[in-house]
Amino acid sequence: MPVPATPSPAILDPATRVTSLRSRFDPSLVAVALEEIRLRWAVACERPGASQTAYQIRHRADSAPWTVAEPVLSDAAVDIPAPGGPLNAREQREYCVRIATDTGWSPWSSPLLIEGSLDSDSFAADVISIPTDLEGPAAILRTEFTLPFTPVRARLYLSALGLVHARINGADTSDALLTPGWTEYDDRILIDAIDATDLVHEGRNAISLTVGDGWYRGRMGFAGRTEIYGDRSGAIARLEILGEAGQALTVATDDSWVGGFGPIRAASIYDGTTIDLRLDAGDPSLPGFDTDGWLPVDILDCDHRVFHPRAVPPVRVIGGFDMNALSDRIEDAADGVVLDAGQNISGWVRLTVEGEAGTEVVVRHAEVLDPDGSLHTASLRSARATDRYILGESGRIELEPVFTFHGFRYADVTGPVRIVSARAIAISTDLPRRATFSSSHNALDRFHENVVWSQLDNFVSIPTDCPQRDERLGWTGDAQAFAATANTLFDAEAFWASWLRDLELAQNDNGAVASLVPNIIAGDARMGGRPIDDMGRAGWADAATIVPWSTYASVGSPEILRSQLDSMRRWVDHLRRRAGDDVLLPDEPFQYGDWLDPDAPVDQPWNGKTPALFVANCFYIHSTRLLAASERLIGDPDEAQRLEDLATRVADAVWTRWKHEAHETQTGAAMCLEFGIVPDRARPGLVAALADNVRRENGRIATGFLGTPLVLFALSRAGKWEEAYTMLLRRQAPSWLYQVDRGATTVWERWDAIKEDGSIHAGEMAGDEGGMISFNHYAYGAVIDWVYRNVAGLEPMTPGYRTTRIGPRPATALTRAQASIATTFGDLSIAWEVDPDLLTIRLVIPFGVEAVLDLLADEGSIALVDGAPAPDRLGHGAYTITLTRPRIIEVDAAAS
């Protein structure tokens, strides 16, 4: 937008200050990727009506004098190119920003410090290893060194073929878990940068690296594949230490290190950990540790070009729950004690027991209990999810596994020991929480928390389908369905950027996108007992366009679109080639379709009632239009128009062929309405058909993974609020809140995972004796994005909430709600309540955001803002808004 001339640099505005200056990288990262930095900031201003008219950046590298850039006339505060060019390895850069308003300049912000990590060229070290059995004893690699000066700065750069845990001088080097995480290992393995300054000291020092097979070599996938990326696990590390007088010492993994074994006898992501504490000979990370009998290490052949700096937060402990015994046998667990965490999580049990040396303690895990009160483990399939410990000494000891995690709420502890305490330790990629929600509807609030926990539990390094069975894979369909909600609940920009890089690496030469990323089933996929082509499947492969666009829309920075534009182009080009001259995509031997449509045959979740080819062509249109929008924003405007024309042609053909099917299913109608397929003249009839379907079924949801994110939007954008709320608040199966009434604390994979009679769904799958049932799948939780936009009433009209619709929708069953979203510009929050005659809203709008009021009013309603007639738009500030005689949506009391 036009901005006035910048004020003189000498004129200050003390009422305005920059409260947050950051880049796309999480502040917890010690060092980041070597790229050009783009800045974003949030501002607090005490003056109503003020706006940013200009900004100015100053910067310096490695404590050099400040360089002050010229002011820039702009109201932009996101995606701002920072001076200095790409970061160099080890370089430390500081940035400050100040902004101008119409009355003067704010003070300079606090400095943002950014440090460059190492790239493959500067990561000079060897990958070292000793021979180990598959998922057997964990190797420990160590060395000692003498530091002849007092350190003032030390950085440990760490990675692995497998998983690695580093210790220096008896202390963990970081709180990161499952390092370096899971990526497309053949092309990309992350380097962790760790501040080790406080861990090293003048004199003798030691470092140890414990290595597990993890995703690299261990058993992964329902096909039971092992050694997917290599037949040897190993670690690589480089410790760089600087002294005050410029001294330097580097310790890197090489053939001088030695390796041996300790108490970890087995470590498997699926099967758990076995630890024999009788074999604990002390801490190998301490100087003087006895390495008699240890082996010289082997140097593994490895292309160092696969190593890249970490740009996403690592997995960390993010919470915990004290576990309660479901019996009084904690004094002697010899016959087993079942413990309940009260919450389904990803993680493990931290157990404190008292027992005799040589005693074995076994901890098994499950999400739910069978009717007889025992653990329900059938849904785990071949994953044993069992941790075993053998006590090394008599007395009290704390037990905790390594290099594994389990999806569980319940644990069974067996062994002749006294259970002193048990705590369920929850882990996840450590993303900042972005949003909160609560309301007058307890079941909806609980479902919201279930969705939050399903995201946490399934964002362990990558976006997985489930955290418990022999799967835990990065299914692209689940990811795209949930992306909007994921971006609303958490600051997931860096998480998606990392995963999307792997998605692009996994695209084949023809541009087809894999069904899961990292892709470990290429050429080995089966469904219904027969081989299938897992590349380029509709609604799954479209993650290539949907996830980047969703992230941009939520955050407001097009950086992720720039990174993924080539991948998006390749995917849509692939679809164009498949369609050829026929406009529509051809029929395929297999598509996932509207996966797990509740009306599909119970053992054929791909065989939904909405024709799979109809679904495929609808998503073809959607991806094409998303690419067109991206081209218009950051690419080729002429290509954008060509893509729009193509999407229109395909949409016309889809409507001609499937308009009758669109009227018959919720998913068909929702796709045609939300993807702009239905012609304007036919829109009222399709809306009526969808609304009639919902009323006739009393709000029964009849969509699978692809239709669920769309159906409430299709209703509400057409003004069918009663139908939307009836579906949202329905309590009978299938519905979102049915799960809550059955005690769920995360989102289920199947709508009826626990049946009305209390029995557990067998998860039947044609051609698969193992079944498919999970109690922790986030896909159906996609509805929560709609809840924030429409129940709470905070909906971004432009990317990043720069313009936000304020449109809460009170209902007879929902009379109060409050929500907050940490937008890129600052905290946006709302709290509203309604009685039959008055809606009261308390609204906080951050600086740089404009709010548009959209309230449901009846004839004669009066809207006031702080006691004055309500304007159409509001700038930053805190407001009290009232609306007399609000329209309140009627919801069937029996349904809610």
pLDDT in tens, 12-43: 889 999 999 999 999 999 999 999 999 999 99
pLDDT greater than 70 at residue 124: yes
- Return the beta strands (E) in 148-263 as ranges: 151-161, 163-168, 171-172, 189-195, 203-212, 234-243, 248-252, 258-261
Contact 74, 3 (CB under 8 A): yes
Helix (H, G, I), strand (E, B) or coil at 341: strand
Residue 744: closest CA among 268, 310, 263, 342: 342
Identify the band that residue 871 occupies on the pLDDT scale cut at 50, 70 and 90: very high
Residue 817: closest CA among 805, 830, 803: 830
* Kind and range of the H or E run holding 500: helix 493-506
Q: Tens digits of per-residue pLDDT, 604-638? A: 999 999 999 999 999 999 999 999 999 999 999 99
> Where is pLDDT greater, at 532 or 844?
844
Alpha-carbon span 158 to 199, nearest angstrom: 15
Alpha-carbon span 842 to 818, nearest angstrom: 9
Contact 190, 211 (CB under 8 A): no
Residue 538: closest CA among 579, 502, 499, 506: 579
Return the pLDDT at 789.
98
Q: Tens digits of per-residue pLDDT, 794-808? A: 999 999 999 999 999
Return the pLDDT at 215.
98
Residue 477: closest CA among 527, 539, 533: 539
Torsion of CA 785, 788, 794, 798, to 10 degrees: 0
Residue 834: CA atoms inside 13 Å, Cβ hemisphere, count?
Answer: 27
Return the structure tokens found at 643: 């893509």
Alpha-carbon span 9 to 2, nearest angstrom: 20
Return the pLDDT at 895.
59
Alpha-carbon span 206 to 168, nearest angstrom: 6
pLDDT greater than 50 at residue 70: yes
Q: How many other CB atoms are found less than 10 A from the CB of residue 856?
A: 17
Helix (H, G, I), strand (E, B) or coil at 638: helix
Alpha-carbon span 551 to 533, nearest angstrom: 28
**C-alpha to C-alpha distances, 766 to 210, 717, 771, nearest whole angstrom:** 42, 38, 9
Contact 306, 187 (CB under 8 A): yes
Helix (H, G, I), strand (E, B) or coil at 278: helix
Tokens 């026929």 correspond to 582
Percent of the chain beyond pLDDT 90?
94
pLDDT greater than 90 at residue 522: no
Q: How many other CB atoms are found less than 10 A from the CB of residue 852?
A: 15
Residue 421's φ and ψ, nearest 5 degrees, are -160, 155
Q: Tens digits of per-residue pLDDT, 775-790? A: 999 999 999 999 999 9
Tokens 């498949």 correspond to 578
Pairing of strands 315-322, 418-429: antiparallel
Return the pLDDT at 63.
87
One-character DSSP codes across 112-148 = EEEEB---TTT----EEE----TT-SPEEEEEEEEE-
Contact 126, 254 (CB under 8 A): yes
Residue 755 φ/ψ region, left for φ over 0, alpha for ψ in the -120 to 50 degree band, beta for the rest: beta
Residue count of the chain, please give it: 896
Alpha-carbon span 879 to 750, nearest angstrom: 43
Q: How many other CB atoms are found less than 10 A from the CB of residue 324?
A: 12
Q: Tens digits of per-residue pLDDT, 535-572? A: 999 999 999 999 999 999 999 999 999 999 999 999 99
The mean predicted confidence, pLDDT, of the chain is 96
**Taking the complete model, does pTM exceed 0.95, yes or no?**
yes
pLDDT greater than 80 at residue 528: no
Query: What are the residues whose beta carbons fall under 8 Å from the beta carbon of 307, sequence distance 6 or more?
Result: 119, 120, 123, 159, 189, 190, 191, 236
Pairing of strands 333-355, 418-429: antiparallel
Return the pLDDT at 2.
47
DSSP annotation of 789 reads I
**C-alpha to C-alpha distances, 591 to 608, 699, 702, nearest whole angstrom:** 10, 28, 19
Contact 42, 16 (CB under 8 A): no
pLDDT greater than 90 at residue 319: yes
Residue 366's φ and ψ, nearest 5 degrees, are -160, 160
Identify the band that residue 894 occupies on the pLDDT scale cut at 50, 70 and 90: low
pLDDT greater than 60 at residue 223: yes
Tokens 């470990």 correspond to 520
Tokens 């390895």 correspond to 89
Active site positions, annotated: 471, 749
Residue 322's φ and ψ, nearest 5 degrees, are -65, 135
